[in-house]
Structure 1
Amino acid sequence: MTATLAPPSTPTPDAARRSPWPLVGCVALFTLAAPPLFAAYAFFDVLVLTGIWGIAALGTGLLSGYAGQVSLGQGAILGLGAYAAALAVTEWRLPEPLGILLAIGVALVVALITAPLLRLHGFYLALATLALGLIITQAFTNLGSLTGGVSGRSVPALSVGGVALDSREASFWTGWAVLTVALAGIGNLMRSRYGQAFGAIEQDEAAARALGIPVFRYKTALWLIAAALTAVSGALYAHHLQFLSPDQFGIDASVQIVAAVIIGGTGLRLGPVLGMWLLQALPQVTRDLGISTPLATGVLMIAVMVFFPGGLSEALLRLGRLGRARKET
């Protein structure tokens, strides 16, 4: 008997065909308006991290929702992007934007090398990506001359055209601007014929093969997209935090990214970002209540999987439909 691990949620065809521009417009307006409104409040830091980590969650949600693949190694890819961007600036004296491009390139190379893992399914793929993540994070520790090892290394703030983006507001605008572009790109991709092929693979892989869809090639494409988005997230995180150590990119980081997809869902394209916002805000809530954050995270994940299998975004969508139906009647 083959063990399987179901993806967090499956996007509906209607969600895949929906125009991304209303959502992108709303996110863009929020990106512009939020710093003047919320920068003075403590939870603004949560919004900053939500934008940065939300990019990685979007990529993982795409991989899980449309290719049915669950990766537990995304934290390590996040670290690859972070360390590549840091080394590009501190060791090789490249401008920060080129460092981010280098981070994407490194992640894509690793994703191409490890693409054969996609021939595995469910539980076996999850374990294989977990092992991959452990290997990469161990390399961060062992390559101390480059990474700083367990002592970590400092990273300068992001700078574009000689202008230092070292404020909380600048980190917010940068992360959410990239997130907005990613949302627009993913939305348009899912409305294309490629998105239809991704949906066919998710619904029935054998049937998709019978229709002549090159399943492995399409899964590899999503694997590469997820790696690139996660690397960008890691690079921005490095410049925002201005310090890196291997323990930031272990299994906890991978679980947080996957948990964001499980909690937020992929039924709406903003679902993983919603899940990431809840996870970033949860430590402040649990600290005020005096309870354990891991315990609260576990309870939240179980509750969502039991009562809202499609994630909270899908639950909100259904609630909106119910409200509209009542108004019509």
Structure 2
Amino acid sequence: MRFLFKTTYAQDLRLAKHSGYTFWYGLLLVLLASAPLWMPEYWLAQLSFVLIYAIVGLGLMLLAGFTGQFSLGHAAFLGVGAYTQAVLTGMGWPFVLALACAAGLSAAVGVVVGLPALRVKGIYLGMATLAFGFIVEEGFARWESVTGGNAGIHVAPPALLGWTLESTASFYLLCLVLAIACTLGILNLLRSPTGRAFVAIRDSEISAQSMGIHLARYKTLSFALSAALAGLGGALYAHKLQFISPDQFSILQSIDLLLMIVIGGLGSVHGAFLGALFLIAMPQAIALGKDWLPAAVGQAPGLQGVVYGAVLVAFVLFEPMGLYGRWLKVRTWLQVFPFYRQGLFKRQKSFQKSDRLR
């Protein structure tokens, strides 16, 4: 196993804790940047969707995983960003300016939702955000003069610095750059006083308040930042599909987003990317597996929902820390092999079941 002995403050401030981080993440970045050279166009398009959902997942992870405020209507922020981008680019606005407005308007809507939500918590907060999602979806359908109603609205490919990003490879690189920027921003935010305040609120609101943390301010800020990232992802989502309609931002989309961060690993930045990868790869795996199943099962209309539900229940019961938590255990097992003990993670499970101050 690797043991780190920090002797300077610079070591503690670095994002890469040791040379292994630098090598593996550098290799991953090289593979992702060179993907248009060796990856088929179809899988490159799917990888673009992974990056888009990862950006949205980073926002929801900040809200739910690090601040402890769950949202069942997060697809509404995704829709606000998508429709803002579609309308503004349709009016001839530059892509970058429209993107900033999409994120800013989503953040403003997040503040509007966050302020009333300060009075509720737990299941009641989920119900409030769920109601907000229904209201926004109905608003998209009724405001036909702007959104096109149920008929939807077409979105042109993004144009940046005089170049129209029509190809799959160029749009993928745009998504990659924005995903890296958002990831670095979230990582730096989490190690700042603001990020530590978010985590303190998640662990115990009473303890956080006793330390001088302004609950209303930081909860509202968390909603705003989460909504801004969702709006940014929604803008890219609109350009990728080139057509959006209200039914794309329904309660089912919100559940998919929440499922994404739970399965990826609640409370970890890695979990947003692993969850996005799961969300895109699972339908592909189900489609491939249908050929091997009996016709009565493979052609059943609710097969995907059943598989999703079974996977979620399995993770909640056997791996609450998600895919990233499972990877941490596998990595620890490889590091201590052959000295692995049966009860190695027993204390971790005990900690998860412990009662926190309320």
Q: TM-score, normalised by structure 2?
A: 0.82
1:74·1:133 contact (CA, 8 Å) conserved in 2? Answer: yes
Structure 2 residue 226 is the aligned partner of structure 1 residue 229: no
* Counterpart-to-counterpart distance in 1, 2:185 and 2:322: 22
Cα 1:28/1:222, change in 2 over 3 Å? farther
* Counterpart-to-counterpart distance in 1, 2:28 and 2:243: 29
Is the radius of gyration larger for structure 1 or structure 2?
2
Quote the residue 2:85 is aligned against.
85
Moved more, 280-289 or 319-328: 319-328
Quote the residue 2:38 is aligned against.
37
Cα 1:237/1:256, change in 2 over 3 Å? same
Moved more, 227-236 or 190-199: 190-199
SS in 1 for 2:269: coil
Quote the residue 1:10 is aligned against.
none
| Equivalent AA in structure 2 for residue 284 of structure 1 | Q
| Equivalent AA in structure 2 for residue 178 of structure 1 | L
1:87·1:146 contact (CA, 8 Å) conserved in 2? Answer: yes
* Counterpart-to-counterpart distance in 2, 1:253 and 1:118: 24
Quote the residue 1:114 is aligned against.
113
1:20·1:183 contact (CA, 8 Å) conserved in 2? Answer: no
2:264·2:323 contact (CA, 8 Å) conserved in 1? Answer: yes
Quote the residue 1:9 is aligned against.
none
Quote the residue 1:289 is aligned against.
289
Q: TM-score, normalised by structure 1?
A: 0.89
- Aligned-pair CA distance for 1:25: 4.2
Quote the residue 2:93 is aligned against.
94
| Structure 2 residue runs without a partner (length 5+) | 1-11, 291-297, 341-358
- Aligned-pair CA distance for 1:127: 0.7
* Counterpart-to-counterpart distance in 2, 1:197 and 1:255: 27
| Structure 1 residue runs without a partner (length 5+) | 1-16
Quote the residue 1:12 is aligned against.
none
Quote the residue 1:302 is aligned against.
313
Quote the residue 2:4 is aligned against.
none
Quote the residue 2:70 is aligned against.
70
- Aligned-pair CA distance for 1:100: 0.8
Moved more, 17-26 or 197-206: 17-26
* Counterpart-to-counterpart distance in 2, 1:20 and 1:287: 39
Structure 2 residue 320 is the aligned partner of structure 1 residue 319: no
- Aligned-pair CA distance for 1:328: 8.1
* Counterpart-to-counterpart distance in 2, 1:295 and 1:43: 25
2:83·2:235 contact (CA, 8 Å) conserved in 1? Answer: yes
SS in 1 for 2:320: coil
Aligned residues: 311
- Aligned-pair CA distance for 1:193: 2.2
SS in 1 for 2:118: helix
* Counterpart-to-counterpart distance in 1, 2:338 and 2:181: 34
Identity over the aligned pairs, expressed in percent? 34
SS in 1 for 2:57: helix
- Aligned-pair CA distance for 1:325: 2.2
* Counterpart-to-counterpart distance in 2, 1:31 and 1:180: 11
Quote the residue 2:140 is aligned against.
140
SS in 1 for 2:164: strand
Which is bigger in relative contact order (C-alpha 8 A, separation at least 6)? 1
